[in-house]
Chain A
Amino acid sequence: MMKKRIFALLLVAAMTLSMTACNSGTTAKDTNTATPETTESTETKENTETKENTETKENTETTAPAETTSEENDTFTVAISYMPDTLAPHSGGSDDYTSMTRPLYDKLFIENTTGGLDYYLADSLEVSDDGLTYTIHIRDDANWSDGTPITTADIQFCADYSIHKYGYNRYIRVNGVEGSMNIIDDKTIEFVLPEPYNYQIITLSGMNVYPSHVFNGDPAALESATEYYSTPGFVTSGAYVVSEINEDSFVCTARDDYYRGTPQVKKVVMKVIGSGSTKSIAFENGEIDYMRITTIDELEKYEAQTDKYNIFSMSEARLNYLQVNPFGPANLNDAQREALFYAINGDEVIAGAYGSEKLATNPNSLLTPEMSLYNPDTPDYVYDLDKAKELAKSSGLEGMTLTYIFNKDRANMEAVAVVLQQQLAQIGVTLQIEGMDSSSFFPRFFAASSYNFNGQETTWDLGTNGWDSMKGSTLNQAYSYLNQSSNAWGLTDTCGELAAKINTTTDSEETQKMTDEVIELALAQHRIYPLTYTNYVMVSQKNVTGLDCSPIVPEFIDYLGISVNG
């Protein structure tokens, strides 16, 4: 009797599970197998036009998809790693968060990867001949999602927020001295610096513009606006507004009054997807529309299925490098450092750690090809194993054990460490590799430069780090490296002096000459070894196009170029 009851119970349970599963299967399938309808063939061309940022209202108005396209086909689903508690423009900092809020907030302008500027809220930036005055004009048609025009009052509000938070206006401050900020009219504003400072372009391009009218000009109200920015419908300056916020996702809906035109993708869904392989499975299951790929295996796998997927590749504008720590326990001298660098085979690093030049290339400079000051003729380090062995022996490097740290949150860094370990073993150097997450890595790697010598500067000899967003017309992140505080990286003072000059010189020829000089000087000191220029490779569902229309990482700075209609 008892056996029968148990058997019956098990049967009921199995049937219930089956029915539930079948039911869900239908739902999932409905979503996944929906084939996007083809829209007008002119769309692709119009996409290209919008990505050049020469957009006009007339141009983008024609990009509206055919009315017959279902709402589902106009949805672009993005995987996010966590659900943010607020979507305030000033709450983030991580690449993940930047990506999440890209559809919502526009910058004034951004530095592109060809040495120029792409304009968004602003339509011009003029720099005076003396390099002191930066005049920005905001687009006449730039507006908030509630219809209010974006004006210089909003820029003033950003400055007020900076004062509220840091105690000074960071947009006019150079070397601890503040200049002035002058509002010319509703759309024009001047930033007058106390001394020339080319880095100002980066500062201004990073400005988050806040809606002054929403907070009545009160920066304290903005600081505590968590609830406001976690409720659908808050005011945005980008192409989308948030229409739905759930526990594990939020939905951005295209604005029909966006000043640059109406996006083709009507809905962007940001959805939390589990870690590890879950994302790949979700992608292949059609739950998300694209994902980044970082290994050659993944690349080859998806390249072999071109009927199902599209591959997009763009330079990440990132330089990964190996740093020799001047405060490391081994205290390596110049000959020892030279021996190390002779032993590194850059091409082998690419082949071993990345597997293909599609994912990364061998660099020659501390600058990336996306920077206008980059010189392709900068002499690279030469691989010479025999010389490395000879130097290692004569300098006493042979037989030493060095501690090597890397950030395992960064793609391929572990593989790079393993390749370097093998290469340096050939000259009798043992690398003790320590991988750690970002939050542990940065206080250790930057112990001398940013953490006031917190004691961890003496715990490692070699480390790999990367500089991202290396684009534009300045030295970018290489500036603070070369113009080091506290002698953090062991470079001579001349490097810092030259970097400072480059940052204040307005003559472009002179700037280029000094840049070449400082890069060669820095490399000659065998403190830093440029390891890789990385590419940002993405795979998308076949119907998705335009992911590389504005090749800026974190993705996607310009949603107008993206289409989900093939």
Chain B
Amino acid sequence: MLKYCLKKAGQVAIVMLLISFFSFAIIDLAPGDISSMYLTEDMSDAEKQIVIEKLGLDKSMPEQYVAWLQEALKGNFGVSLSYKTPVAPMLTKRLPSTILLMGTSLLVSLALSIPLGLIAGYKKNTWIDNIISGFAYFGMSIPSFYFGMLMIILFTATLHWLPSSGMHTVGVNTPSDTFQHMIMPVLTMALSTMASKTRYVRANTIGQLSEEYVLASKAKGCTPAKILRKHVLKNTLLPIITILGMNMASLVCGSFIIESVFGWPGVGSFAMEAIGKRDYPIIMAYVMLSGFILVAGNLVADILYSFADPRIKRGIDIANGK
């Protein structure tokens, strides 16, 4: 198993290296560079050359990449062009806000999609299934920014129940205040992710209900609720692990639109702002962060999967000659 984990970790490192190289190359090809922030029209050519050399822009792209990589491995992602301050602390400062928002929406979507999927699967082709499936299709098809605006119009403009934007009311720094600010963005995010998960759980539930162990449970006199909870649920959750692993990246990068619509001060809106300003060091750090979380999420999902399903672990052991 350890060998398997190490192999996967090695793959992660290679993927990260490739992500970083191609991202760097794409940014290098993009028009404009850091020098535009430092050069002024009244500088002489010699003065401009000094600035360019100071910034290392006179070197080739691979040389610049290697220099960047050496620093990135130390946790130094350079200095923001627009803020003139180190990028890493700026990202880490905003990360908790995003994780709070996305983590909560993930939990909410899980908490709702699993029971809904189970019920829809159990009540296959009934009106209950139709309602839940209809709800899931609605969630998958409606754009989140549009749903977010609808929420704001309803809960802020019409009912005056919830604040439209931000994370806190100024001067109020209580958990309940943050909770109020979170309701709309969390529900907006949760709706789309919940919809797909509900469909997965429903499909798995239908599959599992036709298994013989379910028949055996029924024969033993188990109630449908107990069968679903004790037996079917565990097996239907296996594919969810994979989905969760893939969704890990969305914890950080799925928040672009939602954070912008709701003015949430996280890394999503920060990265949007950086893209608008062509602040390449921030964009690069953001790409690396989201790339890392994506591959790390998949790695964790693979490992968890083998723990959750002994058949997979057995397969790995056999492949390793045990």
Contacts and interface: CB of A to CB of B under 8 A. Distances in A.
Contacts, number: 178
Interface string B160-171: 111111111111
A249 B163 CA distance: 14
B85 A226 contact: yes
B225 A287 contact: no
Contacts of A251: 170-171
A437 B173 contact: no
Interface in B4-58: 31-32, 36, 38, 40-44, 47, 50-51
Given A176-B44, A450-B41, A276 B162 contact: no
A139 interface: no
Nearest to A437: B276
Interface in A1-48: 1-2, 6, 17, 20-25, 27-29, 31-32
A443 to B, nearest CB: 4
Contacts of B265: 83, 247-248, 272
A82 B264 CA distance: 9
A275 interface: yes
Nearest to A454: B31
A437 B274 CA distance: 12
A2 B264 contact: no
Interface string A443-465: 11000001100101000000000
B242 interface: no
B168 A272 contact: no
Interface residues of A, number: 69
B312 interface: no
A246 B97 CA distance: 12
A272 B160 CA distance: 19
A91 B168 contact: no
A28 B157 contact: no
Interface residues of B, number: 66
A390 interface: no
Contacts of B177: 27
B42 A439 contact: no
Interface centre among A86, A165, A282, A485 (most CB of B within 10 A): A282
Contacts of B263: 248, 271-275, 278
Contacts of A81: 273
Nearest to B228: A2
A248 B278 CA distance: 22
Interface in A175-207: 175-176
Interface stretch (A166-174, A209-217, A421-429): A166-174
A274 B165 contact: yes
Contacts of B275: 439
A249 B262 contact: no
A29 B160 contact: yes
A298 interface: no
B161 A271 contact: no
B83 A273 contact: no
Nearest to A246: B168
B86 to A, nearest CB: 8
A434 interface: no
Interface centre among B41, B149, B152 (most CB of A within 10 A): B152
B180 interface: yes
B260 interface: yes
A66 interface: no
A278 B262 contact: yes
B224 interface: yes
Contact of B149 (A24, A32, A90, A277): A277
B165 A276 contact: no
B243 to A, nearest CB: 24
A271 B50 contact: no
Query: Would you list the 3 A-B pairs with minimal beta carbon distance, nearest first?
Result: A2-B225, A274-B263, A24-B180
7 contacts: A28-B161, A91-B84, A248-B263, A272-B165, A276-B145, A278-B164, A439-B32
